[in-house]
């Protein structure tokens, strides 16, 4: 089973839920946690994994052999991203714009283009307690998160209970992280911002055809709008975490809720039971 944790709005508690869910289930399940928020991965701060393997993520970008190139311009014509330009007798490539589709090298009539990896980040794997851990890190200054996310997701072990921590928002990096999940947990807070972004996140998971449920964090702030929305849309609120300075304090120090307040472990186990039930239904 693959459970993804997403949110729309940032800072609502995805990392808190993903890490504590993993820790609460690890004694009874073979758990794998994949941090797919490759722009700002935070799970490692809480789980302090022992990283045993680190691999560069490169996307294949064109390299032009000047001896073979006839400046015909076919490569620039077929590139949808303006990542290659033919200027007089030069071919200029812009690796940071390249998506690595391979059209230029395949279609070059002179076979003058080879593809070389352009590093955009790393994927790291290891273990944290009894949890198999994987994360991606987009390199500073790089724009494209999805190829790094794809590489993190390639670590998915189908025999394990996989928890995927996604980035905030509803655009391509989130879709890349969430798609193919059996269930998506949407973490939100009961404020107008939390509600607005939850509605966008719900639209996203519905478009992907993934069943979803809500974890309401910092309950007690804000208003009742989020709960009313969930009721109206028939989206279950599986778990409520109160606004609590103790919880905020643990988070600020990089301590998971499941470890800092172990009484929450049964709530996270119960959360999993509800997810299992929803997936089976």
Partner 1 sequence: MREIVVLSGKGGTGKTSIVASLAAIAQNKVLADCDVDAADLHLLLNPTVREENDFRSGQVAVIDPEVCTQCGLCQELCRFDAIHDYKVDPIACEGCGFCAQVCPVEAITMRECLAGRWFISDTKYGPLVNARLGIAEENSGKLVALVRRQAREIAERNGCDYVISDGPPGIGCPVISSLSGASLALLVTEPTLSGIHDLERVMGVCQHFGVKAVVCINKYDINETNTAAIKDYCRKNKVEVAAMIPFDNIVTEALVAGRSVVEYSDGAVSREIKRLWDKITGVVAG
**Stretch of residues binding partner 1 (CB under 8 A), selected from 123-131, 195-203, 263-271, 273-281:** 195-203
Closer Cβ to partner 1, 161 or 256, answer by number? 256
**CB closer to partner 1, 79 vs 162:** 79
Contact region for partner 1 (CB under 8 A) — 86-94, 96-104, 125-133, 157-165? 96-104
Angle between helices 225-233 and 192-208 (to 10 degrees): 20
Tokens 């391979």 correspond to what residue?
A: 102
Mark 262-277 as b/e (b = at least 16 C-beta within 10 Å).
Answer: eebbebbbebbeebee
For residue 220, how many other CB atoms are within 10 A of its CB? 12
Read off the tokens for 10: 């940032």
- Interface with partner 1 (CB under 8 A), residue from 51, 72, 208, 261: 208
Q: Is 233 in the site for partner 1 (CB under 8 A)?
A: no
Candidate list 49, 62, 95, 100; residue touching partner 1; CB under 8 A: 100
Q: Which part of the chain contacts partner 1 (CB under 8 A), choosing from 87-95, 122-130, 153-161, 190-198?
A: 190-198
CB 236 within 8 A of CB 274: yes
The CA distance from 96 to 232, in Å, is: 44
Nearer to partner 1, 46 or 272 (CB): 46
Helical residues (DSSP H) of the chain, grouped into ranges:
14-25, 43-47, 74-78, 103-107, 146-153, 172-178, 192-208, 225-233, 245-252, 257-260, 265-280
Q: Which of 87, 116, 172, 228 binds partner 1 (CB under 8 A)?
A: 172
Neighbouring residues of 208: CB distance < 8 A, sequence distance ≥ 6 = 175, 178, 179
Restricted to residues 63-82, the positions that interact with partner 1 (CB under 8 A) are 78, 80-81
Per CB under 8 A, residues contacting partner 1 are 7-12, 15, 39-40, 42, 45, 78, 80-81, 99-103, 106-107, 138, 140-145, 167-175, 179, 191-193, 196-197, 200, 203-204, 207-208, 221-223, 245, 248-249, 251-254
């Amino acid at each position: 089973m693959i459970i993804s944790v997403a949110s729309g709005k940032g800072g609502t508690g995805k990392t808190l839920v993903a890490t504590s869910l993993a820790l609460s289930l690890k004694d009874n399940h073979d758990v794998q946690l994949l941090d797919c928020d490759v722009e700002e991965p935070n799970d490692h701060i809480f789980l302090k994994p022992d990283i045993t393997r680190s691999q560069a993520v490169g996307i294949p970008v064109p390299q032009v052999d000047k001896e073979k190139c006839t400046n015909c311009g076919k490569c620039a014509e077929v590139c949808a991203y303006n990542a290659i330009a033919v200027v007089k007798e030069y071919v200029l490539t812009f690796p940071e714009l390249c998506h690595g589709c391979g059209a230029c090298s395949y279609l070059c009539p002179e076979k003058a283009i080879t593809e070389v990896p352009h590093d955009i980040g790393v994927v790291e794997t290891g273990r944290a307690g009894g949890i198999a851990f994987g994360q991606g890190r987009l390199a500073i200054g790089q724009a494209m998160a999805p190829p790094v996310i794809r590489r993190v997701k390639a670590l998915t072990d189908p025999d394990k209970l996989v928890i995927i921590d996604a980035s905030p928002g509803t655009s391509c990096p989130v879709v890349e992280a969430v798609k193919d999940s059996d269930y998506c947990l949407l973490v939100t807070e009961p404020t107008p911002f939390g509600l607005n972004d939850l509605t966008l996140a719900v639209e996203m998971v519905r478009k992907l055809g993934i069943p979803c449920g809500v974890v309401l964090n910092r309950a007690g702030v804000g208003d009742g709008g989020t709960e009313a929305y969930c009721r109206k849309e028939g989206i279950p609120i599986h778990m409520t975490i109160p606004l609590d300075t103790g919880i905020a304090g643990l988070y600020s120090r990089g301590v998971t809720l499941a470890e800092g307040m172990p009484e929450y472990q049964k709530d996270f186990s119960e959360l999993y039971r509800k997810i299992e039930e929803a997936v089976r239904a």
